[in-house]
Amino acid sequence: MHNHHRLDSDSDFSSLLSDQLLLCVFSKLPISHHLATSLVCKRWLYLHGRLVRSLNLLDWHFLESGRLFARFPHLTEIDIARSCIRLTPNSGVLVTFNPFFSLPISSTDDDLSKIELSFPPDRLDQGLQLMAQKYPNLRRVAAFGASEYGLASVGDALQELELHCCGDMSLKGVSGCVNLQAMKLSARMDGFYACVVSDIGLTILAQGCKRLLKLQLCGCEGSYDGIKAIGQCCQMLEELTLQDHRMDGGWLAALSFCANLKTLRFRSCKAIDSSPGLDEHLGVCPMLQVLHLERCQLRDKKSTKSLFLVCENVGDILLRNCWGFQDDLFALASICRRVKLLYLEHCSLLTTGGLESVLLSWKGLQRLMVVSCSNIKDNQVTPELASLFSVLKELKWRPDTRSLLSSDLDGIGMWRKGGKFFTRLKG
C-alpha cells in the first residue's frame, strides 16, 4: 500500500506567493472583478486596497478613525464632498451636481437651503491636513465648504481641485497650490448652497495658480476685472467654463486677455453678458478653437453678437438645448468665418432657411451635425444646401424622427462622407 498525501481542501495556495506577485496578478484583472476577488480573504482585501488610486468618500468617520489610510494607502485622487454634508429629510429625489457629487434632496424649497457641513469647519481642516500628511502624492481633491486653512495644508503637489460652497476668503488657501492645473469652483447653486466668489476671489485665484490649464466657474459673480486678472496671470489657460454665472455687464470684453484660450464653454447661463458695450472694445480670443453653449438662454441680440465677435476665430461651434435661439440670432454666427464644425441639438426655433443662410457663408465648413431640431425639414433643403452636403467630410442629419434623409443615410452608412449619399440619389 502506498501512502497518498492529499492536500487539505482549505489550503490557501496564494499564501505561497509574495505580495508583489499577487499585486501584479490583481492589476491584470478587469476592474469589474476587483470587488469579488477582494472579498476572498483579508489579505486579498488589503492588497486590493493598495491598488486603488481614486476614491469617493461617503463616511467622514472612516477618515478620522484612520481606517481610510490603512485600507487605501496609495490614493492620489479623493472626493470628500459627499461625506461633509448634513442631509435634511427628503423625498428620495436624487440630484447630481457632477459625476462625483450627488445627494438626495427634499421636495420643499425650505429644506433645500439646509445643505451644510455636518460638523464644525475645524474638523474639515484637520481632515484635510491628515490627508496631506498620509497622501504626499495626492493629485486630485474634491471638497465641500473647505476653509483657507484647510486648503493651505493640501500641498503643492495637487494638480486638480474641485471646491463646492467656497467663498472669496477660502481661496487664499489655494494660493499655495502652485502646480494646480485644473480647478472647478462652485460658489453657488440655487436652492442648495450659496457663497460669494467675486472679483476678489478670482484675483486671488489667478495670482496664486498661474499654471492653470482648465478652469470651471459655477455660480460665480465678478466682472471685467476678475476675468482680466485670470487672463493676465494664468497665461497657460486653455479651457474656460462658465456655468450659471452672475457676472456684471461688460465682462465679456475681458476674454481677449486669455491669449491661449482654446475652449470656451457656457452651461445653464440665463444670459451671456447683460451689457457688453461697444463692439470695437470687445477684442478677440486669438487662439480659440471651440465654442460650446449648452442649456443657455440666447434671446438678446446684442449679447449674442458680442459673443460671436469675441469668438470670431473659432473653428468648432456646438449648440445644445439653447432657448430662444431663432434665425436672426443664428445669423450672427456668420461673423465667425473659420468654422469647420457645427453641431446643433434641440435648437427647436431654428428653421431650415436660417440654417442655410449661415452654412453657405462658411466656405471652410467640413462637418455638420443636426440632431432633434424640429423646425428644420427635409423638404425645405434647397439644391444649394444639398450641394454643400455633398462635399462635407462628415454629415449627421437627424433634425427629427420623421426625417427621410436620416433614414436613407442610415441605410447606406453615410455619416462620414456626404458625397456618397447624393451620388446615389442621382443614380
Higher pLDDT: 177 or 100? It is: 177
Chain center to CA of 79 = 15
pLDDT of residue 11: 54
pLDDT-based confidence at residue 122 (cuts at 50, 70, 90): confident
* Predicted TM-score (pTM) of this structure: 0.82
Comparing 6 with 254, the larger pLDDT belongs to: 254
pLDDT value at 92 more than 60: no
Confidence of residue 25 (pLDDT cuts 50, 70, 90): low
Mapped onto helix, strand or coil, the DSSP state of residue 50 is helix
- Confidence band of 418 (pLDDT split at 50, 70, 90): very low
Predicted local distance difference test score (pLDDT) of residue 119: 77
> pLDDT tens digit string along 129-141?
999 899 988 999 9
Residue of 14 and 249 predicted with greater confidence: 249
Which residues are CB-neighbours of 345 under 8 A, at least 6 positions away? 319, 320, 321, 369, 371, 372, 373
Which residue did the predictor score with more confidence, 32 or 9? 32
Residue with cell 451620388: 423
pLDDT at 18: 65
Q: Is the pLDDT of residue 15 over 80?
A: no
Spell 134-163 as b/e; 16+ CB within 10 A means b.
bbeebbbbbbbbbbbbbbbbbbebbbbbbb
Grid cell 493676465 in the structure block, residue: 232
**pLDDT of 1 higher than 60:** no
Provide the pLDDT for residue 366: 96
pLDDT number for residue 243? 95
Which residue matches cell numbers 440632431? 371
Query: 130: exposed, middle or buried (C-beta count within 10 Å: 0-12, 13-18, 19+)?
Result: middle
Question: For 288-323, how does the pLDDT look when each residue is reduced to its tens digit (9 = 90+)?
Answer: 999 999 999 999 999 999 999 999 999 999 999 998
Q: How confident is the model at residue 108 (pLDDT cuts 50, 70, 90)?
A: very low
pLDDT, tens digit (0-9, with 9 covering 90-100), for 221-236: 999 999 999 999 999 9
Q: Residue 274: which of 235, 297, 253, 302 has the closest Cα?
A: 302
Mean pLDDT to the nearest integer, 192-221: 94
Mean pLDDT, range 191-212, rounded to an integer: 92
Distances 124 to 13, 80, 104, 165 between C-alpha atoms, Å: 44, 10, 22, 13
**Average pLDDT value for residue range 178-192:** 89
**Residue 292: CB partners within 8 Å, gap ≥ 6?**
263, 264, 265, 266, 318, 320
Pairing assessment for the beta strands 101-105 and 93-98 based on DSSP bridges:
antiparallel
Averaged pLDDT of the chain = 83
Residue 161 reports pLDDT greater than 90: yes
pLDDT tens string 53-88: 889 999 999 999 998 998 888 899 999 988 888 755
Q: Kindly report the CATH number that applies to the domain delimited by 53-336.
A: 3.80.10.10
pLDDT, position 413? 45
Higher pLDDT, 403 or 122: 122
Q: What is the pLDDT of residues 316-350, one digit of tens each?
A: 999 999 988 899 999 999 999 999 999 999 998 99
Domain ranges of the chain: 17-50, 53-336, 337-427
Q: What is the pLDDT of residue 327?
A: 94
- By CB atoms closer than 10 A (0-12, 13-18, 19+), residue 366 is middle
- Residue 421 clears pLDDT 80, i.e. is over it: no
Query: pLDDT at position 234, please?
Result: 95
pLDDT of residue 401: 72
Q: What is the mean pLDDT of residues 268-279?
A: 93
Fold of 17-50: Monooxygenase (1.20.1280)
The model's confidence at residue 189, banded by pLDDT at 50, 70 and 90, is confident
State phi, psi for 396 to the nearest 5 degrees.
-125, 110
pLDDT level of residue 408 (50, 70, 90 thresholds): low
Listed range (43-47, 173-177, 185-189, 421-425) with the worst mean pLDDT: 421-425
Question: Which H/E stretch holds residue 293?
Answer: strand 290-294
